[in-house]
Every structure is written in C-alpha cells, then in structure tokens.
Chains A and B, each alone.
Chain A
C-alpha cells in the first residue's frame, strides 16, 4: 500500500491500445469499409483511372473546406458562411475575368483576379472574426447572417453587372496562364504515366487514357498538410486547442484567444477561396448557386473525422478520412447506376449521428465522465 501512488493507477498502454483510442480511428474504419464496399459494388470501376481521378476531385473539394471548418471548430467556433463565400469568390473571379478589373482598370489576368478576390474574402473573414470576438455573440448567428448576406451580394452583383446569374464560355485560361493552370490544371501526371507504362490506364484505342489528377488534389494536400503540422506541432496549434478547450484558462495563461479566432475565420475564408478558384479555372464557368450547402458538408465532415462540436479536440488526419468517406459516397451514384443518388444524404445523416455519439464518448473518457 505504501508504494501505491496515484500515478501507478494509470494503466500503461501498449502502442496498439493507444492507436485504437485515437480520435480518427472511427473515421478510418468507416473509410476502409466504404472503399471496399464501393470497389465491390462498382465492379472496380470506382478505382479505375478515370474513376480515381473523379473521386479524388470531389474528395479534394470537400477536404479543402473541411480542413478550414475543422480548425475553426477546434478553436470552438463555427463558420456557416463557407458555402456563400465560395459563391462570392467564384463570382468575383469570373466577373473580373469576363468584364475586366473594377473601376475600368483594364483587363484582369487570372492571377490578378485571384489575388484581388482573396484580399476581399480574407477581409470579410477578418470582419466576421472581429464581430464574433468583439460582440461575444455566437458565431452560429453571426456567420448565418453572412451566409445570407454574401449569397445575396453574389446574386445582386451577377444581375447588376452580368444580367445573368451565371458566366460561361470564358476562354480556357489554363492554356496560357501558368497561374490558372496551377488552380485548374492537372497534377501528378507521373502517376498516370507510370500506370500507363506498367500496362494499365488504356482507353479503347490502346492509348494513354487519363493524364493527371485535378490541381485541387495538390491544394488539398498542401492545405491539409500545413494544417496538420500547425495544429499538432506548433505553438499556434497549441493556442488553437487551448482556445477551444477552455477559453478563460487559455487567456489567463497569456494565449491571444481573440487573435487566434480571427485568424481562423480568415483561414476558412482562404479555404473557400481556393475551392472557388479551382472550380473557376478548371471549368471556366461560375454561377450564383456555387458552393450551396458546402458549409454544412464541411462541418459534417469535420465531425465525422472526430472533431468535437464543443471545441478543443480534433484531428486533421481524421478529417482527411472523413473527406474520403463522404466524397466516395457522394460520387457512388456514378459508378453504381442502380442506386438512387439521394441515398447519399441518408448515409451522411446516419454516419454524422453515429460520429457525434462516438465523439461524445471520447470526450467523456478524456475528461473523466463529466
């Protein structure tokens, strides 16, 4: 009894046990199940060269915005304006590309259109963050206001300047502008080249079929990789977790809580802008409904990936798994024509609910059941 102290009561865990307790474990298992099920149900078509490219395209889209949403949720806030921000950013870029720079300043290059738009979206993100931290209002309500506001502004601008709520038939900027190619072109061509050299990746005439992934795949890797590094390995990451866990404790220890939050609202705006830029430069079109409901998908994926609704806990790796799962299921209808596309939402609702319960269990285990 004498040598028994409180530290000895904590069981030593093996590496495997620790792995099983990680927050992203649930998302990982679900992802594996979906990958296997989809491969069987689609007769392998979902992962043939074109199937893989198309799946990665939608997964990367979800992944980009879910990373932003998850980082913000870890700090204890929501952003419901992501979807409208995508619409606004897409409108802004396409409009400049078609009608030139504002105030008659001449033609807009793809890079100029992007950076002017980014300056605006970061400004709006900063403003949303400042309103939330200064007023102390719930970010739910403040960003809901911006959901309507930005969508409205997008439509009004379209009708006022363009007379129509969509822009199509822009020239293919990818062909001349390296910047447009960076956003909307293809990446990792070597992967498909290698596949071709190894005897696969053939079309019906026996030529190379697919030449590369969409550029947004690279952007997703960059954004998720940077977010992972920052959250788990840096001082700012420690501040983000501290802010979401117990704001007052963080403040008492000198963490600049408000700056952290404002910065993260700007980060979600950045993710939405990258999402929009990839879309605009890939398809050379834009319309006022782009990004609709994306804020909710982003939050759902973050939760499926193990992020707590109450903040302070979550992992970018889990969000990667979540994005893969949700992206594959969203796309499944193209590979299994027999199923109704609406089953996707049934599935999403189901795993979202399951994930919330699982996350709550994790939180209780960590905090000792309170």
Chain B
C-alpha cells in the first residue's frame, strides 16, 4: 500500500489558449478503486486520454512504480500496463466474442492459422474469472447486453497485461440490473489485489458502492480528494456539485 502503482504530479494540459487540466495530482494503488468524479467539462476525459497516451501532457509528470514515464502513443501506455476501456469499448458487433477478445493479438499456428479452440477457452475462462459464464464464445458480440460487453472489454484489457484499468463511465447508458453487473465486475477485479482501477463516473451512488479513494475535478482542477473514510456523504454531495453548497444552488435558482 505504500507505493502507488501510478502517480500523477501537477498535470497540466493546454490546447492552445484553453487550459483543459490546470495541475492535477492523482495516486492510484493496486487493489483499489479510485473514483474520478466531476461534471461535464471538468477535465476527466482529458486526464484519462493523457494517462492512456492519446494526449501528451503540457506540464507535469506521470510515474509508474515511482519511475517517471513519457507516453508518446497509446501503444506506449498499453505497454506500461495502462489499459483503457473507453465508452465505445472498441468492439466489433458482427464478430464473435473470441474474435473480439483477441482482435489484433490473435494466437496463431502454422500459416498464420488461428488456434481457435485455445482462444475460445481463454476468452471463456477470463470472462468467467470476472463474473460472466459465457457458455458460447462463438456468438456475436452484437447479441450481448451492454453490461456483458463491458465485461468482455475489461477481461480483454486484463488478459493483455493491464495493471491500471481505466474505466470511462462504464455504468452510463446501462439499465439498473446491468449497472449492478458492472459494479460486481469492478469488485471482482479489485479483489485480485494486483490491479488498480480508475473508475470514472457521474453517479454518486455507484462511486460510493465500490470506491476506496476519490478525486473530484471541476474546471480542470482537483477540488477535493481523499479516501472513502475521509469523505463523508455530505462532503461528497458538495464536491459532486462542483464544490457548491446545496443552499447556494437553491438560492441561485430562487433568484429567477
């Protein structure tokens, strides 16, 4: 617990004159769920895109296991163990579960032929480990529910060596039951103990249910951070609404 797997120090990202991130600090520990909360435009997306190598930071440093690193491309970040599961999941709906699982990283035998039986087994087992028993890995991803697709994308990231799993709003656009499914998956990944999870969400309840540590962003800056014990429900609600008090918001509305 002493050493965070991933540490971000004073991260600044500017796009021309616009400052998307104005100096953010973040520490992510293995076996923990770090919730990243904030309103639209708070800088959550820019932060994760910087962590996953899509953007290069303007200032500040990223450390992996204490060593400073520079990501020039998503490939660099992925090689350093950062696995990002975006909202669109990067899945192909017409292709089978197994073919999606190994897309671009297929196991091949002679003449580039696919070791299909072995791949089916790995895809099935990896998904079972984090919670879905998928009896038929040859079925098309298009027939799966949103929650199952999330699980597939997460299982894939873990199998290919993710040490930090970045989940970009995995529970949005899902029904209640499937949201619970995704939260269970997060819990199971957490229980492995060797993977750090960054969970981006709008949803206070979801973050309360699985979070160990919280960082709140507003207008590109961190406005509050702490462990689950340090941040009470009331404080959480205040930070969720961008640091404003409920009373202030009410006054703002009453003025109309």
Contact = CB atoms under 8 A, between A and B. Distances in A.
A241 interface: yes
A160 B106 CA distance: 51
Contacts of A7: 132-135
B143 A366 contact: yes
A342 B98 CA distance: 47
A175 B233 CA distance: 91
A76 to B, nearest CB: 11
Contacts of A229: 113
A6 B75 CA distance: 34
Interface string B69-97: 00000110000000000101111111100
A195 to B, nearest CB: 35
Nearest to A74: B94
A241 B134 contact: no
Contacts of A234: 108, 111-114
> Which of A237, A238, A248, A255 has the largest count of B CB atoms less than 10 A from its CB?
A238
Given A242-B92, A366-B143, A253 B105 contact: yes
A246 B95 CA distance: 10
Contacts of B139: 10
B103 A367 contact: no
A363 B90 contact: no
Contact of B132 (A6, A246, A248, A308): A6
Contacts of B92: 241-242, 245-246, 249-250, 312
Interface in A242-265: 242, 245-246, 248-250, 252-255
A95 B143 CA distance: 54
B63 interface: no
A238 B142 contact: no
B113 A233 contact: yes
A242 B94 CA distance: 9
A252 B78 CA distance: 11
A241 B95 contact: yes
Contacts of A312: 92, 94-95
A246 B94 CA distance: 9
Interface SS of chain B:
loop
Contacts of A267: none
Contacts of A242: 92, 95, 99, 103-104
A5 B103 contact: no
A242 B93 CA distance: 10
> Which of A236, A248, A253, A254 has the largest count of B CB atoms less than 10 A from its CB?
A253
B136 interface: yes
A235 B108 contact: yes
A154 to B, nearest CB: 36
A241 B95 CA distance: 8
Contacts of B147: 6
Contacts of B102: 238
A10 B136 contact: yes
Contacts of A313: 94
Contacts of B103: 238, 242, 249-250, 253, 255
A239 interface: yes
A248 B74 CA distance: 14
Given A241-B95, A250-B103, A368 B90 contact: no
Interface in B106-131: 106, 108, 111-114, 116
> Which of B91, B132, B142 has the largest count of A CB atoms less than 10 A from its CB?
B142
A250 B90 CA distance: 7
A199 to B, nearest CB: 43
B203 interface: no
Interface string A220-242: 00000000010001111111011
A112 B134 CA distance: 55
B171 to A, nearest CB: 16
B93 A238 contact: no
Contacts of A367: 93-94, 140, 142
B93 A245 contact: yes
B222 interface: no
Nearest to B98: A238
Contacts of B93: 245-246, 366-367
B90 A241 contact: no
A363 B94 CA distance: 8
B145 interface: yes
Interface string B132-174: 1111100110110101100000000000000000000000000
B31 to A, nearest CB: 26
7 nearest A-B residue pairs (beta carbon): A254-B104, A367-B142, A253-B104, A245-B92, A249-B90, A252-B90, A235-B106
20 contacts: A5-B133, A7-B133, A7-B135, A10-B139, A238-B95, A238-B99, A238-B106, A241-B94, A242-B99, A248-B88, A249-B90, A250-B92, A250-B103, A253-B103, A253-B104, A253-B105, A254-B75, A255-B103, A312-B92, A367-B142
